[in-house]
Amino acid sequence: MADAVFLALSVLTIGSAIAALEMRSLIYGSIALMGSLGGVAGFFFLLDAPFVALFQLAVYVGSIAVLILFTVMLVRRELIFKKIEDRRRKMAGIGLLLVFLVSVGALIMSSGIQQMDSDSPPIDFREIGEDFLVYYWPALVVMALILSGAVTGALVLARREVESGTN
Amino acid sequence: MNATPLVILGVLGVAGVILPVLDVARRERFTQAYAAVALGALFISIGYVGYQFVSGMVQPGAIFSTDVLADDAFGGLFAIAMLIVAVFSVTGSISYMRDQKYPAVYYSLILLSAIGMVLVAYSTDLVMLFVAWELMSIPTYVLAGFMKRNPISNEAALKYFLFGAMSSAIIVYGISMVYGLTGTTNISEVIVALTTLDASMMPLAILAIGLFVAGFGFKMGLVPFHMWLPDTYEGAPQPITALLAAATKKAGFAATIRIVVMGMAALHLDWTLALGIIAVMTMTIGNVAAIMQKNLSRMLAYSSIGHAGYILIGLAVAPHSAAGLQGSLYHVLNHAVMKGAAFIAISGVVVALAVTHLDKIRGLGRRMPITALGLTVSLLALAGVPPLNGFWSKLMLFGAALESGSFVWWGPWLAIAAVLNSALSLAYYGWIMRKMYFEGEDAKRVKEPKSVIAVMIFSLLFMVGLGVYPDPVIQFVEMATPTFLLP
Amino acid sequence: MALIEFVLVSVALLGIGIYGLAVKRNAIRMLFAVEIIINAANLNLVAFSRYVDDSGGQTLALFSIAIAAAEVAVGLALVVVAYRMYKDVDIANFRSLRG
Amino acid sequence: MVWLVWILPFVAALIMPGVGKASKKATNYVAVGFALASALSAASLLPMALAGDEIHDQIMWIEAIGLEAGVLADPISVIMANVVAWISFLIMGYSTGYMKGDRDIIRFWFWMMFFIGSMQIIVLSDNLLQLFFGWEGVGLASYSLISFWYRDKQKDHVGQRGRTALGLLDYYSPTHAGMKAFIMTKVGDIMMLSGMLLIFLYAGTFGFRELVETTTWATQMDAVGLLVPAFVLLFGGAVGKSAQFPLNEWLLEAMTGPTAVSALIHAATMVKAGVFLVARIGPIMFALGAAGILGEQFFAIVAWTGAITALLLATQGMTNPEIKKVLAYSTGSQIGYMMMALGVAGLSHQYVDGYTAGFFHLISHAMFKASLFMAAGSLLHVVGSRFMTDMGGLRRHMKKTYAFMWAAGLGLMGAPFITTGFWSKDAIFAAVYESGAEFGMILYGIAVLTAIITAFYTTRMIGMVFHGEKSPHIQKMESKGHHVHEAHLSMWVPYGILAALTIILGVAGLYIEGSLHHLFEEYLDHSFHIHSEHGEETGILGGLNPVALVSSLAAFGIGILLGYVFYIGRLVSPQRLVSSNLFFYAIHKLLLNRWYLNSIIYWCFVVAPLWLARGLFRYFERTTIDYGMNTGLEKATRWGATVVQGTQTGTVQSYLFVFGAGLLFVVLMLMV
Amino acid sequence: MIEFGLLQAVFLPLFLAPVAYVLGTRYGAAPAMWFSFAVLLYGTVLVVLGTISGYSEYYPWTGEFGGFGFSLDGLSSPFAIIIYVLSTILVLYSRPYMVHRFEEMANGTLQTSALNRQVGLYFALYLVFAMGMLGTVLSTNLIQFYVFFEIMLIPGFFLVSLWGDGPRRKIGLMFLFWTHVGAVVLLLGFLMIGLTVGSFDFSDISESAIPPDIVLLSAIAISIGLGVKLAVFMFHIWLPWVHGAAPTPISALLSPAMIGIGAYGIFRLVVEFLPNTFADLAIWFHIWGIVTMLYGGAMALMQDDIKRLFAYSSISQMGYLLFGIGSLSVLGMAGAEMMYITHALGKGLLFMTAGILIVKAGTRSISKLGGLAGKMPITAVCAVIGALTIMGVPPTSGFMGEWILFYGALETAISEGSMVRAVTFGLGLVATVLTMSYMLWMLKRVFFGKTPEHLEKVKEAGWHMTAPMMVLAGFTIVLGIYPDIFLEGIIPYMEGVLRI
């Protein structure tokens, strides 16, 4: 059962990741990306991390992907459906991909990770909360700064200038 | 006790958050005030770090605490270097940003980025390090593209962003590997766990190290992860380039030393040759590419790559020579000031003359004497000409490479390559000087931005003063250098 | 399900992401690729977190997701700016900086 | 007093610019006065020296190496010093007339005094190093004086314009000549220097007296076979300075200098220095024979060099049309005689014979050659040309000069019984004949042959100048209103004195030679412990070797007869003789072209090295060094930069591709 | 001895350089010149006094690399004295030459203020340059040595690039680049020694034993590094250009004083500190020296530019120095040092001559000169004395250097029974003839012969230019007659170095 789900999720995630990159239309591409991100969320469920999974769904699928979608819709139509590719570059990219997969795959397969397994109970998400507040609290503060900085920065950048600047 | 990073976090964080708020609150634009606030915060931070050092409350070397942050001399050294550069950047921006929009956000982002850098150096936990890394990076993406109407700036920012995003993902990937192998994210625990790592897990550990090298190497500008760097440095506003070249790059080294070098040592890997090869590649490509550049920023960007190579020498020979890491840290500090000063000088040129092309800075020595002098001295310092500060750190690095010759055959070759590169670099630095002083004899003097002059004077004092009498800094560096006594 | 299966999926995603970044010319599609890589890393983290039985992995995954959001925001802003200037998002045309 | 002899000329030289600034005329008095003072102080040493005593005075010089400077006034040096000083004094007097009105008179006096001072250093120095100072000083002064007329006017050149030998112009400007003289003598000098250094290496001293005190150094040097080479190298210096074969060629071009300078060079200083050096070191070498170290090779080399030079230059003197060059050839030839005498002295058991002969010839030669040169200078002054073909028939106009020239010329020819030249030459013949050396007879033959030639060319010179018809040149001059007349008093008096002395001393020649012989015998015995076998020579003519006497007389007779036939009596036209016969033509051309020696030297040591240097410069320095290492390196770096820049395409995809590949690369590198 | 005497001698010029600049800018050439002259004169006096009392000073500096100090011993004091004497008198010479040069560069449209600014800058750079050279030879620490070694480079670069002739900017860069390459290679050698010994102080290094493999490598690195400075054969790439292009007072300082510092370095660093290796390497120095001698001389024969001729002559003379060093005997090495002194005097004179020709005759091409002896007698006399010094003709100091040098070479050749050394000795003598040839030929072409028409109006230079020459000319003759002034110190030192 779980294996079948895993298989399905794998196909969904990887397939839609490829689709996101390769589909002609950017809109469909972003939808495919959502699928891929959702698939990862599914993996999280499989891994007994519902908190992260929900966070993933909320933040990624819910906001990021939608943000992307809106951005896509901002740009001109012909851009959305235009897909310019450089064949040589694509071949080189596929080559790189294959080499990467083969070598890193072999690396991983040859390592002792194959024997790693766990039968411990899933982690309670309250532990995560405790981590955040006790151990990682400076990181949390920093996180907040990142978000504020990113938001102000993105706002400043994206804001349309009414009057013409001096630059 | 980890008071210092937290104080910095607090001071700069508050200032960084308040600035945009102030901007909203005050309708009239008063750029200098924002800069003053930012400078104030930075000075307080520097003062605090310095005070901690002077009062001896800092633990020497790089320590490994069970907390996410450690208050050690290693971090302190980087903090000082980075904060100085941040001060340069802010000061240099005063004139640069005079007619630009959103100065408050601009300064706030510099402050936030500064926090990130400092915390990267202080981090003793991978998660903290990653988060700090991102705090450092994300504002700089914005800053690099801050000149919204300038396509160059935007292009630079986009390239930077794409690389940055990719490398931060790769860093996370690397962290995940390490975490998977050790079950912890605290660096000290990671290292302890790595020392007893099962042999079958070795490939994964290597993969993780490789990912870290790539991820951090992007920031450091190591070949082959350097390709964004010239483009971004050229396109970004020069004060930001100063920040990128002189500070964020150093954060990469801080992270590498804390994680990669320690981790590699823990893994008993023979990693030195790999780093040595990267070092030679980096400095050679950086210096060779710099030779024919026509754009001042771009030339210095390549030189920056070259310098990353020098610093990496220290890392490469770290296990064999005590002077290696010392030299690296020393060069980090020096390079921060030298490159920072150089880019701020260029920003002054841009403000006053709006040019960066080499052919157009003819006669700069007459047009902007102080800026030109500052640039000249910093170039000479970069070239390692005594008695400027750059000489001493290069000396230690080359010495370390030679010293390692008794353990590894390639040590002297590393030194020779470095030395020849160093000589080669003088060719293009000399080219800049030639353009500034020996051409355009009839140039007339123009007004130089006061803020740039201030930076120039400070850096001149720093470079010459600590070049003539380097002992305090050497002692400082010795204190800050981590040892290989693993926890 | 062994850990390795998750790791392999993650590696595959990582590879696809790198491929996307190295091949695609559309800035937005490159953002997709970045997201895919981050997700690969997150998957890895959570999987390891499950198998080493520690909460740290999940914590980092959460941080990572949040940061990805911030990054994407900035990235999209940059793309928008670029689009305004060039009326185009083909990044291969952004090559005035080179040499 | 001894020091004064050489210090005074230097003082004069040093004050000369100052005096000259005050008054140009005063320089004449200063020069002559100081020369006289120097001569007087030299003369004051004579009684001491003739009594066989010596003064050896030393002061510390280079303390770091332990070298002392000093003067050594022994008989030989005192006599030499007197010859130099007095002849110089006369030449200085002559110069006041000869150089009258020259705008560079100060420079002239400066170098003349410097010349004399340097020569006196050579003569009076007690060690080789100090001698070398004088040695080089002489070279320097000769350089400056030969190229005195540095403006290279055409009248100051020597040689026939446009004539070439082996493709090289035989026409030299004063500056060229000076350079040639300096460099050629320098070749000798460095040989001498290395000889000196070799001796110093073993002996630890440069001092002449110190070298005689012990023989251990010589034994050591002999053991490694360096003794003779060292002395030969020393002799190399003499070869250079005295213009011996093969370094003889500079002497001819040295004729570009003012004639007073030529006189000084040929009679008193410079070329005599070489002879003096051999006289200085010869006894040292010979004395080593007592310690069982034989230096016969050295003496043989000296003798043969002298002989070859004597013949070589004498033959060339027969054909040259320039009066000063003829005299120059004659000088070289006569110096060859002296060398030969000093050489064969060492080959025989009776060292003192040859020694005396050589030295005596030096003295007599100094007198008549100075006289001849000064007379020739007067002729030049009067005629305004250095070519004998431009003179002719002058005997009626310049009676005094004619007479003096004959007197001195007879001295050169060795006119029997009445000239010093006869006695000294005869002594040389005798020494060569009696030496009993291997090939001694060949040497003797050369000597006699040379004597014939000498007599011939001297007659030829006088005949061409004073006899026969006036040349077109003089006729032209006279038609322009110039009148050929006797030279000024200040000029003819000095050479008159010397010509007279040649005859006067010649009459008493045998006695002088005898006392000189006696003096040197004692001197060599006393200073070098060289004993000579006493015996037969008692009567007036008893001391003379009959064979030598006869051959000497015969040589004089044949030579002067031939000369008379061709040039005084003008019975046979020499031109016709030469063009009549291919053999004579070839010989004439060979001699006129100086046996092609000069050309060969130029080809080998001037043209070829210059060619080589040019080749190196063009094809190595310009290409490999300049282009290869500057431009080439620059280009290579630029090329590298272009390549690296080429990778920086500006396309971010490529960058990211490289990033990915780099990631793999790093991982794999770490794995290995 | 005045307290901190050498410290003052070295650093006063540096600290007073801005004053010279201000004086020049505000008040014109004369005050700046006299000020620089006074500063350097004071330094010279201090150095001379220090030499008499055999003086040294030490100050704390860095922990890692040791202290710094200044020391005058038999080796360094002749160098120091010559450097400062030359620097001092060339100040006087500089003024007319440089004013001429400034005017020439401005095509006669030079305003007084611009002139003054350049004058000020010139003297400031000049002082730093002089100070760098002195500091190098007085150093007592490897790193300090290197620091000063580089310091003299920077003002040199500016001086050449600002006021040189021809493609001066390019040549300035070439100068900077090549000498820097040499310097960094040198630095490698220093580091090897210093790290092995654990100290960079001369006193420590001379007392410690260093492993032979390191010694060999570092000796080679140091020799190559200094070889570039000395401009020995194959490393002379930069010298003809730089000496040809530099403003003549600087050429007159570069060529005699600066490049010879390479020889000082070899003495101090290789001969003194690595004696055993040096003994092995000496023959190569010897051969290298002879090749340089001959090559430089041959190239000098081919030059038409008078300054380039002197430049090649300098290369050849540096060959003599190396030759002497390679002779591995007391007198040979003493001769080499003596050659430095005499070359400094002689070449200084010759370069000043070239400067006068440039200023007065307006050309530096030998083929355009001729017959100037009568027009400028003092210059001609000084040039001849300079040439004689280079040729090694007594009574100039050249002879005193040369015979000692060759004696040393001969001594070693004989005592080792080495055929190679004997041959090099012979070739060395040939080189002296070569030297003589190109010098005399140069004199002939410049000062003798016919005067071209365009030179009819040439006049003797003013006393600013001739007086320094006369001083040097007097010096060389005094030294030629009484060399003990320097030999007294040099020979005991060399004996000490070779442990005889």
User: How far apart, in whole angstroms, are the C-alpha atoms of residue E73 and residue E47?
Assistant: 11
Backbone angles phi, psi at B123, to 5 degrees: -65, 140
Q: In which residue are the tokens 């560069």 written?
A: E105
Q: Which residues of A touch C36 (CB under 8 A)?
A: 17, 20-21, 33, 36
Any CB–CB contact under 8 A between C16 and chain D? Answer: no
Is B439 domain-assigned?
A: yes
Separation CA B370–CA B80 (nearest Å) = 25
pTM of the model: 0.90
Contact D293, D323 (CB under 8 A): no
> How many whole angstroms separate alpha carbon A39 and alpha carbon A33?
10
pLDDT bin (cut points 50, 70, 90) of residue E130 is very high
- Pairs of residues, one from chain A and one from chain C, whose beta carbons lie less than 8 Å apart: 230
Q: Checking phi first, is residue E28 left (phi over 0); if not, alpha (psi -120 to 50) or beta?
A: left
Worst-scoring range by mean pLDDT, B20-24, B325-329, B394-398, E174-178? Answer: B20-24
Residues of chain E contacting B470 with CB distance shorter than 8 Å: 62
Say what the pLDDT of residue D50 is. Answer: 83
Q: Once rounded to an integer, what is the mean pLDDT over residues E469-497?
A: 89
What is the CA angle A5-A11-A14, rounded to 5?
130
Answer for the pair D83, D43: CB distance below 8 angstroms, yes or no: no
| pLDDT at residue E280 is higher than 80 | yes
pLDDT in tens, D455-467: 998 988 888 888 8
Q: Which residues of D touch C (CB under 8 A)?
A: 645, 648-654, 656-657, 659-660, 663
Does residue B67 register a pLDDT over 60? yes
The backbone torsions φ and ψ at residue B59, rounded to the nearest 5 degrees and listed phi first, read -80, 140
Inform me whether the C-beta atom of residue C90 falls under 8 Å from chain D C-beta atoms: no
Put simply, the chain C residues between 35 and 54 with a CB less than 8 A from any chain D CB are none
Name every chain E residue with its beta carbon within 8 A of the beta carbon of D193.
Answer: 403, 406, 429
**Residues from chain E contacting residue D133 (CB–CB below 8 Å):** 394-395, 399
Q: What is the pLDDT of residue D539?
A: 42
B241 part of contact set with chain C, CB < 8 Å: no
- Hey, is C6 helix, strand or coil? helix
Q: Which three-class secondary structure string do you get for B360-404?
A: HHCCHHHHCHHHHHHHHHHHHHHHCCCCCHHHHHHHHHHHHHHHH
Residues B145, C51: C-beta atoms closer than 8 Å: no
CA angle B275, B276, B281 (to 5 degrees): 95
B194 pLDDT above the threshold of 70: yes
Q: How far apart are CA B299 and CA B290, in angstroms?
A: 5
Amino acid occupying residue E451: T
3-state DSSP assignment of residue D24 = helix
pLDDT surpasses 90 at C93: no
Q: Which of residues 91-130 of B touch C (CB under 8 A)?
A: 126-127, 130
Q: Output the six-digit token pair for D429.
A: 């013949």
For residue C98, tell me if it sits in a domain: no
**What subunits touch chain D, counting only 3 or more CB pairs under 8 A?**
A, B, C, E
The residues facing D125 across adjacent strands are D71
- The per-residue DSSP string of C8-29 comes to HHHHHHHHHHHHHHHH--BHHH
Answer yes or no: are the C-beta atoms of E326 and E282 closer than 8 Å: yes
First to last CA, chain A: 62
Q: Is D660 on the interface with A (CB under 8 A)?
A: yes
Q: Chain E contacts of D200, Cβ < 8 Å?
A: 407
Interface residue of E174, E295, E302, E308 to substitute, partner D, most D CBs within 10 Å = E302
Token reading at D617 = 């410069």
Number of folded domains that form chain B: 1
Six-digit token pair at A92? 């080189």
- Among residues B168, B111, B208, B481, the alpha carbon closest in space to that of B322 is found at B481
| Cβ-nearest to A60 among C6, C9, C65 | C65
The total of other beta-carbon atoms located within 10 Å of residue E312's CB is 28
Tokens at B40, concatenated? 């104030």
pLDDT digits (tens, 9 = 90+) for C21-34: 888 888 888 888 88
Percentage of residues in chain D having pLDDT higher than 70: 98
Distance of CA D144 to the CA centre of its chain: 15
The pLDDT score that the predictor gives to residue B439 is 82
Q: What is the pLDDT of residues D387-421, one digit of tens each?
A: 888 887 888 888 888 888 888 888 888 888 888 88
Using 50, 70 and 90 to split pLDDT, how confident is the model at E129? very high
Q: How far is D35 from D41, CA to CA, in rounded Å?
A: 10
CATH of the domain at C36: 1.10.287.3510
How many degrees, rounded to 5, is the angle at CA B414 between CA B408 and CA B419? 145
Q: Which of D169, D223, D224, D230 is nearest to D199 (CA)?
A: D230
Q: Under DSSP, is residue E68 helix (H, G, I), strand (E, B) or coil? A: strand
- Alpha-carbon distance of E337 to E344, in angstroms, equals 11
Q: Per-residue pLDDT tens for E424-476?
A: 999 999 899 999 999 999 998 888 888 888 888 888 888 888 999 999 999 99
Label residue B134 by pLDDT band (50, 70, 90). very high
- Inspect the structure and tell me whether chains D and E have 3 or more CB pairs less than 8 Å apart: yes
- Tell me the average pLDDT of chain D: 86
The yes-or-no verdict on residue D323 having pLDDT over 90 is no
Question: ipTM of the predicted structure?
Answer: 0.87
By DSSP bridging, strand E66-71 and strand D67-73 are: unpaired
Residue C35 lies in a domain: yes
Q: Give the model confidence (pLDDT) of D60-105 as tens digits.
A: 888 888 888 888 888 888 888 998 899 889 888 888 888 888 888 8
Question: pLDDT-based confidence at B335, cuts 50/70/90?
Answer: very high
Q: Which residue from B371, B386, B391 is spatially nearest to B437, judged by alpha carbons?
A: B371
pLDDT tens digit sequence for D492-512: 888 888 888 888 888 888 888
**What pLDDT, on the 0 to 100 scale, is given for residue B302?**
92
Note down the domain range covering C44: 3-93
pLDDT of residue D543: 58
Decide if C47 is inside a domain.
yes
Q: Tell me the residue length of chain C.
A: 99
pLDDT at residue D541, rounded to an integer: 46
How far lies D386's CA from each of D243, D266, D320, D377, E360, in Å?
A: 22, 17, 11, 9, 37
Higher model confidence: residue C82 or residue A165?
A: C82
The answer, yes or no, to whether the previous bond of A50 is cis (omega within 30 of 0) is: no
D277-317 pLDDT, tens per residue? 988 888 888 888 777 777 788 888 898 999 999 998 888 88
Does position C1 have pLDDT exceeding 80, yes or no?
no
| Structural domain count of chain C | 1
For residue B342, the enclosing domain spans: 270-481
* Chains touching C (3+ CB pairs < 8 Å): A, B, D
The average pLDDT across D319-347 equals 88
Beta strand E56-62 with D168-172 is unpaired
3-state secondary structure of E134: helix
- The predicted model gives B172-197 an average pLDDT of 87
- The residue among D13, D36, D149, D154 whose CA lies nearest residue D90 is D36
What is the widest separation between alpha-carbon atoms in chain E? 67
pLDDT in tens, E353-381: 999 998 888 888 898 888 888 888 889 99
Q: What is the mean pLDDT of residues D232-241?
A: 90
Contact flag D644-B288 (C-beta cutoff 8 Å): yes
Q: Kindly report, residue by residue over A74-129, the tens digit of the pLDDT.
A: 777 777 777 777 788 888 888 989 998 888 888 888 877 777 666 677 777 788 88
pLDDT at B487: 40
C24 occurs within a structural domain: yes
* Distance of alpha carbon E119 from alpha carbon E481, whole angstroms: 38
Q: Residue E388 above 80 pLDDT?
A: yes
In percent, the amount of chain A with pLDDT more than 90 equals: 9
Summarised one tens digit per residue, pLDDT across range E39-91 is 999 999 988 888 888 778 888 887 778 888 888 888 888 999 999 999 999 99
pLDDT at E390: 92
Burial of residue B308 (CB within 10 Å: 0-12, 13-18, 19+) is: buried
Residue B377 within a domain: yes
Tally Cβ neighbours within 10 Å of residue B305.
Answer: 29
Neighbours of chain E (3+ CB pairs under 8 A): B, D
